[in-house]
Chains A and B, each alone.
Chain A
Amino acid sequence: MPPPRPRRRHRLAALLCAAAGATGCGERADSFQPNGLLRATGGLTDEQSSSIDAALAELFGSPDEPRLPPELPRMAELCDLAALQQAAGPVASHEVGVTQGLYRRHCARCHGVTGDGRGPTARYQSPYPRDFRRGVFKWKSTYRDAPPTVADLDRVLEHGVPGTAMPSFRLLSEEEREILQQYVIYLAIRGQTERALVSLVADELPAGEPLRLEGDLRDEVMSESLAPIVAAWVDAESDVVSPPDSSEVDDRLIARGRDLYHSEKAGCFKCHGAAGQGGAVAGKDYEIDYDRWTRERVVARPSDAVAHLVRQDLPIRPSRPRQLIGATPHGGDATADLYRRVHQGIAGTTMPAVGGAYPGQPGSLTDEEVQSVVVYLQSINPKESPL
């Protein structure tokens, strides 16, 4: 048989490449994906971007070999290196009943190997899977700007998020869920560190100068940028919003909550509708806005690089105020959940807080008023909690 002619060989090669690409061959999980949009928005050069990748690799390792920065000893209070190593890497088992690569097995398909919320299945999910890299989580018990507690992460892992693709992992052992929590925290802190380093390079270093994380600069970055990020995670337990002891529910309290719901002071009706029917994009009966993860992609006059990355990214979806009646509340409908959601809003979204931003700070509603709104919401949607 004569050898194929060059043109045929090219066609064959193109066909093989297309087939390999279509099956996902060549898309490897051995490195974290850089936050390209963040870097393009900051106007970073390729050299600067590479220097940030090198610094992150030195501090946090890779998806196959995670590492903890030695200058951040408090990270050990959050993440055990052995646990991270069991969560990382490809799925494998070298001992009966011990699974390596737990994160890739259970989480990466939606949340991505990097934890950027851009796993293979992300595009078809609504809402999109959480992007951990901001360290911002919606379903938590803490004040709006504080990270979630370990218990919050465990709760989401154990019970899932109703009405979304996030399943319950209650069939995993507690130990495996704990390992996954730690890996999620690790990815979040890594993502927050990336954001801090990009900000440093874009705003503080001379134009075009790559990052050299050494000497005084390293000490400064560690103590002023990264240590506070870690401290916020470690101290999250002290930032928990405590609902008041449940008072007796009576018609007076419900009526007060109803009045507040429809008042300018709380303003709930503006987004969720007078009857709690929620907002609709087509109807435009509320102001179209975007959550924090999406807002940075809605740029008025993007550069070519930014516009290209936005086009390549997940389709932009505006925030849609939730339907309060007959819908499954994503964050659970237990009284404490509703109280915290009304009190602090939902972190990262357009749902605002009406309580104070930290313990003791007054908000636009008092704690009793928040409670009355919660009671009113429960009265119009009496349902067993799925959690």
Chain B
Amino acid sequence: MLCCATYPLIWIGGLITTTDAGMAVPDWPGTYGYNLWLYPWSTWFFGPWDLFVEHGHRLFASGVGLLTIGLVVVVFRCDRRAWLRWLALAALALVIWQGVLGGLRVVLNERLLGFAHGSTGPLFFALTAVIVALTARNDEPRPSGSDQAAPLWPWLLAGLIYLQIIAGAALRHVPEASSFNTFALHVQAHLWGALLVTLSVVAAAIVAWRWPVGRSPRVLASLMAAVLAVQVSLGVATWVAKYRLPAFAQTGVAADAWDAIAGAGTMAPSTAGGWTETYVVTGHSATGSLLLALAAAHAVVARRRTSTASNTELSSHRDEPSAASAGPA
């Protein structure tokens, strides 16, 4: 439930960055002097879009914070597995830190804190995905020959995707006074990161389908590949929506391809804050977080499929096996 609630929050956060609505409310933790929960709902609901989305983000985030507290309470009351308790505490610490970062970004009006806030959100989402993967029911028979050490590469893949998310967040939060060379550095880092992530996810999918890794890692690797395809498409669409075709693509094959797909002379101006630009760009940001969560879950599942010791440990301290599988995460 926490994991499912976090993903819309990631979307709303991305929406705020896309529409630059982060400063629609000047104070924190309250909203225009009101307690967060007591702000007049009519002003929020029928007021300006910026206020609607920013205050909504705060309300949603506080709900996620409460769910995280609930996770900690349930885990400490119903489960004695030490690692799960630590993970729940880590989630609580991370969500508090994330809230403070968001608040400081507003109070100090500092865009770089927005960058830190935007980088921490996906990390929290991935952590909830890890908790889901670790506490999920695991009735699959382990494939033969899987008694080897847990592979490290799925974690490296998740780390690589997270670095790419950081590069993307840096790109989205470049200060207005930055030079075009700073921005170019971010663009190039993000493009090279995209290439590396693409190759790595494709390799993970190939491994999952060619070797007997089990059903769950295979499903997750396939999902990653599918999400990656969507993500790359959204990345291209994001660029075109915001900056249109770069110089090299305005003539030759790329221009002909555009004319063939969209029709000659159809490059109308985008609408700042319009539906296409807003949701394509936000979708690209949110899909990156989804890819990270899948990669983190994949790494957990791959470890469970190959590590006898961890499987034993996972099941040895549970009070009730079914309680963990239907756990709060």
Chain B residues near A29 (CB, 8 Å)?
175-177
Indicate if A21 sits at the interface (CB-CB under 8 A).
Answer: yes
Indicate if A106 sits at the interface (CB-CB under 8 A).
Answer: yes
Bound Cα distance A161, B269 (Å)? 6
Interface residues of A in 77-97 (CB under 8 A from B): 90-94, 96-97
Given A168-B272, A326-B259, CB of A94 within 8 Å of CB of B178: no
B112 and A24 within 8 A (CB) = yes
Bound Cα distance A25, B115 (Å)? 11
Bound Cα distance A108, B180 (Å)? 12
Which residue of chain B has its CB nearest to the CB of A90? B109
CB contact between B265 and one of A91, A118, A171, A327 (< 8 Å): that residue: A327
B23 and A92 within 8 A (CB) = yes
Chain A residues near B243 (CB, 8 Å)?
121, 124-125, 165
A96 and B177 within 8 A (CB) = no
Indicate if B48 sits at the interface (CB-CB under 8 A).
Answer: yes
CB contact between A97 and one of B48, B242, B277 (< 8 Å): that residue: B48
> Taking the nearest CB of chain B, how far is it from the CB of A372, in angstroms?
23
Q: Residues on B close to A: CB < 8 A?
A: 20, 22-26, 32, 43, 47-48, 50-51, 109, 112, 115, 170, 173-187, 242-247, 250-251, 259, 264-274, 277
A122 and B180 within 8 A (CB) = yes
Chain A residues near B273 (CB, 8 Å)?
171-172
Interface residues of A in 288-314 (CB under 8 A from B): 314
Ordered by A's residue number, 17 sampled pairs between the chains whose C-beta atoms are within 8 Å are: A27-B178, A27-B179, A27-B182, A29-B176, A93-B50, A106-B272, A109-B176, A119-B176, A123-B183, A126-B250, A162-B267, A166-B269, A169-B272, A171-B272, A171-B274, A280-B251, A317-B247
Bound Cα distance A110, B220 (Å)? 40
A21 and B182 within 8 A (CB) = yes
Which residue of chain A has its CB nearest to the CB of B268? A386
Bound Cα distance A167, B173 (Å)? 20
> Taking the nearest CB of chain B, how far is it from the CB of A153, in angstroms?
15
Which residue of chain A has its CB nearest to the CB of B240? A165
A96 and B176 within 8 A (CB) = no
Which residue of chain B has its CB nearest to the CB of A280? B251
Bound Cα distance A278, B23 (Å)? 45
A22 and B180 within 8 A (CB) = no
CB contact between B176 and one of A21, A120, A123 (< 8 Å): that residue: A120
A120 and B182 within 8 A (CB) = yes
Chain A residues near B47 (CB, 8 Å)?
96-97
Given A25-B112, A29-B177, A99-B50, CB of A91 within 8 Å of CB of B20: yes
Indicate if A211 sits at the interface (CB-CB under 8 A).
Answer: no
> Taking the nearest CB of chain A, how far is it from the CB of B266, in angstroms?
7
Indicate if A159 sits at the interface (CB-CB under 8 A).
Answer: yes
Indicate if A104 sits at the interface (CB-CB under 8 A).
Answer: yes
Chain A residues near B43 (CB, 8 Å)?
96
Number of A positions contacting B (CB below 8 A)? 55
Bound Cα distance A90, B23 (Å)? 10
Indicate if A247 sits at the interface (CB-CB under 8 A).
Answer: no
B181 and A123 within 8 A (CB) = yes
Chain A residues near B274 (CB, 8 Å)?
167-168, 171
B246 and A93 within 8 A (CB) = no
A23 and B170 within 8 A (CB) = yes
CB contact between B180 and one of A91, A92, A123, A280 (< 8 Å): that residue: A123
Which residue of chain A has its CB nearest to the CB of B166? A23
Chain A residues near B170 (CB, 8 Å)?
22-24
Chain B residues near A113 (CB, 8 Å)?
176-177
Indicate if A335 sits at the interface (CB-CB under 8 A).
Answer: no
Interface residues of A in 1-39 (CB under 8 A from B): 21-25, 27-29
Chain A residues near B185 (CB, 8 Å)?
22
Indicate if A105 sits at the interface (CB-CB under 8 A).
Answer: yes
Indicate if A218 sits at the interface (CB-CB under 8 A).
Answer: no
B180 and A120 within 8 A (CB) = yes
Chain B residues near A159 (CB, 8 Å)?
269
**Closest A-B pairs by Cβ, 7 of them:** A160-B269, A326-B264, A126-B247, A29-B177, A120-B183, A108-B176, A24-B178
Indicate if A170 sits at the interface (CB-CB under 8 A).
Answer: yes
B187 and A96 within 8 A (CB) = no
Indicate if A328 sits at the interface (CB-CB under 8 A).
Answer: yes
Which residue of chain A has its CB nearest to the CB of B184? A123
B264 and A327 within 8 A (CB) = yes
Which residue of chain B has its CB nearest to the CB of A314? B180
A93 and B265 within 8 A (CB) = no
A93 and B26 within 8 A (CB) = yes
Q: A124, A169, A381 — which one has the most chain B CB atoms within 10 A of its CB?
A: A124
Interface string of A131-162 (1 = CB under 8 A from B): 00000000000000000000000000001111
Chain B residues near A96 (CB, 8 Å)?
32, 43, 47-48, 51
Bound Cα distance A109, B26 (Å)? 22
Chain A residues near B245 (CB, 8 Å)?
126
Which residue of chain A has its CB nearest to the CB of B189? A22
Bound Cα distance A228, B247 (Å)? 37
A93 and B25 within 8 A (CB) = yes
Chain A residues near B115 (CB, 8 Å)?
23
Bound Cα distance A28, B50 (Å)? 25
Indicate if A164 sits at the interface (CB-CB under 8 A).
Answer: yes
Chain B residues near A90 (CB, 8 Å)?
23, 109
> Taking the nearest CB of chain B, how far is it from the CB of A301, in angstroms?
26
B179 and A120 within 8 A (CB) = yes
Bound Cα distance A180, B26 (Å)? 22
Chain B residues near A122 (CB, 8 Å)?
180
CB contact between A104 and one of B51, B176, B187, B259 (< 8 Å): that residue: B176
Given A93-B25, A119-B176, A120-B174, CB of A328 within 8 Å of CB of B32: no
Chain B residues near A108 (CB, 8 Å)?
176-177
> Taking the nearest CB of chain B, how far is it from the CB of A321, in angstroms?
12
Chain B residues near A161 (CB, 8 Å)?
269
Indicate if A163 sits at the interface (CB-CB under 8 A).
Answer: yes
Chain B residues near A105 (CB, 8 Å)?
20
> Taking the nearest CB of chain A, how far is it from the CB of B75, in angstroms?
33
Given A93-B50, A327-B264, CB of A167 within 8 Å of CB of B177: no
B250 and A170 within 8 A (CB) = no
Indicate if A383 sits at the interface (CB-CB under 8 A).
Answer: yes
Chain B residues near A126 (CB, 8 Å)?
245-247, 250
